[in-house]
Structures are given as structure tokens and as C-alpha cells.
């Protein structure tokens, strides 16, 4: 079946630093990947849609300059949280679309001190 990996699985950083999260589709090519944020006991909140070779589409209220997305190949999308602050602490999940289904990575827990 379709597998999506995400790295790192957890990261702790100091306020003001930047953190990069990678999302890879391991056994299929994904022209479209998605980045979500999830708060405890809540549903997934779509942050942006990442399209290979073009600019990402951000959801309303998501700061483009803070959450930089790069989808440089058909198997890799990255999310960089720039100048991270404690309020950015959360669980970030990526997914990749394989035809008509989305497959999810295992998530990254980000803690900003």
C-alpha cells in the first residue's frame, strides 16, 4: 500500500529558530501533498496544499511567510516553520494524494521553548 514518511517525528527548538519538516511518498509519486495542523482532541486543520513545481496554496489565516512550503519533487514536500514561537507548538501532519485517496504521514510533534 501507499506509504508516506515524515521526518522528524518530534522536535524541540528554541523560540526564534526555524524548523524544517520533510514529507515523502515512498512508493508512489504525488503531485499534490497537504499539510495539516492538529491540536489535542481536535480534527485536522488544513494549512496548505503543496503542488509539485508550483507555489503552495495556503488556507485563510495561515501565514505564508511563517510556514514555508516547498514541493521540489514528486516525492518530497517540506514545511519550514520560520522564527518559531511557543504558539507554533503543535502536531503537524502531511498527506500525499495517490489518485483519489490521501495517505498520511505519521506526524511531527513540534515543541517550541
Partner 1 sequence: AQTVTQSQPEMSVQEAETVTLSCTYDTSENNYYLFWYKQPPSRQMILVIRQEAYKQQNATENRFSVNFQKAAKSFSLKISDSQLGDTAMYFCAFMRGLAGNQFYFGTGTSLTVIP
Residues in contact with partner 1 by CB under 8 A are 32, 34, 38, 41-44, 46, 49, 91, 93, 95, 97, 100-104, 106-107
In whole angstroms, how close is the CB of 48 to partner 1 at the nearest point?
A: 11
For residue 53, what is the DSSP state?
Answer: T
When the beta carbons of 13 and 104 are compared against partner 1, the nearer one is 104
Can you tell me the distance from the alpha carbon of 75 to that of 96, in angstroms, rounded to the nearest whole number? 9
In whole angstroms, how close is the CB of 81 to partner 1 at the nearest point?
A: 18
**Cell 503552495 sits at which residue?**
56
Can you tell me the distance from the alpha carbon of 50 to that of 30, in angstroms, rounded to the nearest whole number? 10
Amino acid at each position: 500500500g501507499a506509504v508516506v514518511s515524515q521526518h522528524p517525528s518530534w522536535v524541540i527548538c528554541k523560540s526564534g529558530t526555524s524548523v524544517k519538516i520533510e514529507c515523502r511518498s515512498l512508493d508512489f509519486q504525488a503531485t499534490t501533498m497537504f499539510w495539516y495542523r492538529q491540536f489535542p482532541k481536535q480534527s485536522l486543520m488544513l494549512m496548505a496544499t503543496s503542488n509539485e513545481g508550483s507555489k503552495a496554496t495556503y488556507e485563510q489565516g495561515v501565514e505564508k511567510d511563517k510556514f514555508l512550503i516547498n514541493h521540489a519533487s514528486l516525492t518530497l514536500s517540506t514545511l519550514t516553520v520560520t522564527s518559531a514561537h511557543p504558539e507554533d507548538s503543535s502536531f503537524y501532519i502531511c498527506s500525499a494524494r495517490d489518485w483519489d485517496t490521501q495517505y498520511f504521514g505519521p506526524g511531527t510533534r513540534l515543541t517550541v521553548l
